[in-house]
Amino acid sequence: MAASSTGIVAGLTAAALATIGYLAHQAAETVPAGLGRAAQASATPAAGASKAPRAGEDPAALPGGSGKGARVVYSLRGDRVWLVAGDEAVSRTFKVVPSAVDPAPGSYSVTSRSKAVTGSDGVPVEHVVRFASVNGVVIGFSAAVGGPTPPASDPKVRTGGIRESRADGDAMWTFATIGRKVVVVR
């Protein structure tokens, strides 16, 4: 009986891995034009791109050209996130600590979420909301468990965790469900 149970478990594991592979392939095949590997090849903003807010503008103001409808907007330049309701009202905005690898500007969707994991930098994190991948580095929002937002990680370590406070992580977790649009702007 034990040998047949092992065979069943191995078969189920193989089927699960095949299903995950198929779904990953399907997701890769349905990436909108302009968001494929070529568009994501640059892991950092273009040379000379300033992280300073544009002169004369409120740094907390929702950036123009960030799309329509319910969405998460992430500004690479301002290291800021906006949670925007379907009526275009900003329900929350907050500063984040950027990851070492930036996603290319564009429109994405939340692809997966994890309640609690260990980040690629070894820090326990919660409310992980993933939406992009750059050269094998998965990009997503998360909050460090047990403390304030950590300082920026070592830039030599290729990590994709965009860190937020625990309170902001709670708000992101509630708002950014699977399929929610994420718009990345400079």
pLDDT beneath 50: ranges in the chain? 14-55
Closest CA to 141 of 83, 56, 86: 83
**N-terminal to C-terminal alpha carbon distance within the chain:** 60
pLDDT at res. 55 = 44
Return the sign of the alpha-carbon dihedral for residues 5, 19, 176, 119. positive
**75 with 67: CB under 8 angstroms?**
no
pLDDT at res. 122 = 83
What's the pTM? 0.68
Sorted by where each begins, the domain ranges of the chain are: 66-185
pLDDT at res. 36 = 42
Both tokens assigned to 4: 């047949």
Closest CA to 87 of 71, 73, 75, 74: 71
pLDDT at res. 168 = 96
pLDDT at res. 51 = 45
Assigned CATH topology for domain 66-185 = L,D-transpeptidase catalytic domain-like (2.40.440)
Taking the C-alpha atoms of residue 159 and residue 45, their distance in angstroms, rounded to an integer, is: 15
